[in-house]
Amino acid sequence: MATVTPDHLATTLPAPEKAIAAKREYAGALVVVEGIDGSGKSTQLYLLKRWLEIGGYRIHFTEWNSSPLVKSATRRGKQRRLLTPTTFSLLHAADFADRCERQILPLLNGGYLVLADRYVYTAFARDAARGLPPHWLRNLYSFAPVPDITFYFRAPLDVAVNRITAGRPKLKYYEAGMDLGISLDRAESFRIFQERILNNYDQMTETDHFVLMDGTMRVNKLQKLMRELLGDRIDLAQFAPKKKR
């Protein structure tokens, strides 16, 4: 039983650096890509996944925001614009918890190489940009296993924003951070919101041991580098197909 401390609960919170439990008791490994929209991270993770799939490795791919369990609530909240920064954050945490408990952790325990397109750092960067305190977010996601490697894809703001706005006629309400009331112009709001998120990512680079990737490099060169870095950090042989006797 925890000690009884009558007041000021904030003082009982773990320090942000230690909040993500460093449990490393599973056989698998966790590979994460992070970065703002348009940084090239999804393309690179897709290529990495294809390479590993073709090689017959034991992998599983998971993305942010994909759990069917809370999908209807997320959709309802977004469509009717009911979400506040707090409920936006909690709903995404519930969604991630579901994915974590039903996919990520069982797969890591089962010895899989799990590839995650966005992870808790997305919540840290984005929800902090919505005004939530970092220590609260760190606590909220403290159940998440620490990645074995986190690739942080960084592209200059203009490059990333142009990649997104060129291919999309209309930005979505929450995507553009319209709920923050920064600007009535969606493109403008999106840019400012992304800039805040980018700054938050930059601040985590050192504390969370991101591997910085230059999102402006040529796709195939960047992919070659990513494969090398992955091989340096993780013993891929343990996920390779078993040779027949």
Partner 1 sequence: MKHTAKSTASGNGRPSKAEKNGKNGRITPASRFYGLPLPGVNVQELSGSLIVVEGTDGSGRSTQISLLTEWLESQGFAVQTMGLRRSFLVGEDIDNLLAENAVTRLTLALMYSTDFFDQLERRILPALRSGLIVLADRYIFTLIARAAVRGIGRDYLHGIYEFALRPDLTFWLNVRPEVAFDREFKKAQTVSYWESGRDMSLSNDLFQSFIRYQSMIKREFEYLSKRHGFIELDGEESVSGVNRVLRKRIASHLGIRGTYYKPSHALSQLWR
- Contacts with partner 1 by CB under 8 A lie at 1-2, 4-10, 12-14, 69-70, 72-73, 76-77, 82-87, 90-91, 93-94, 97-98, 100-102, 130-133, 136, 139-140, 142-143
Using the minimum distance from each CB to partner 1, give the nearer residue, 9 or 237.
Answer: 9
Cβ at position 48, least distance to partner 1 in Å: 28
Return contacts of 236-241, CB within 8 angstroms, 24+ apart: 236/57, 236/113, 238/27, 238/111, 239/29, 239/52, 239/57, 239/58, 239/59, 239/111, 239/112, 239/113, 240/55, 240/56, 240/57, 241/55, 241/56, 241/57, 241/58
Crossing angle for the helix pair 186-207 and 157-167, to the nearest 10 degrees: 130
Cβ at position 17, least distance to partner 1 in Å: 15
The residue type of 196 is R
Helix (H) or strand (E) holding 61: strand 59-63
Using the minimum distance from each CB to partner 1, give the nearer residue, 140 or 204.
Answer: 140
Using the minimum distance from each CB to partner 1, give the nearer residue, 25 or 232.
Answer: 25
Cβ at position 2, least distance to partner 1 in Å: 5
Using the minimum distance from each CB to partner 1, give the nearer residue, 75 or 209.
Answer: 75
Cβ at position 201, least distance to partner 1 in Å: 20
Using the minimum distance from each CB to partner 1, give the nearer residue, 59 or 70.
Answer: 70
Using the minimum distance from each CB to partner 1, give the nearer residue, 27 or 82.
Answer: 82
Which tokens sit at 156? 């200059």
Tell me whether strands 113-117 and 29-34 are parallel, antiparallel or unpaired: parallel
Cβ at position 104, least distance to partner 1 in Å: 12
Cβ at position 106, least distance to partner 1 in Å: 11
Cα separations in angstroms, 235 against 23, 223, 238, 245: 19, 18, 6, 22
The residue type of 143 is F
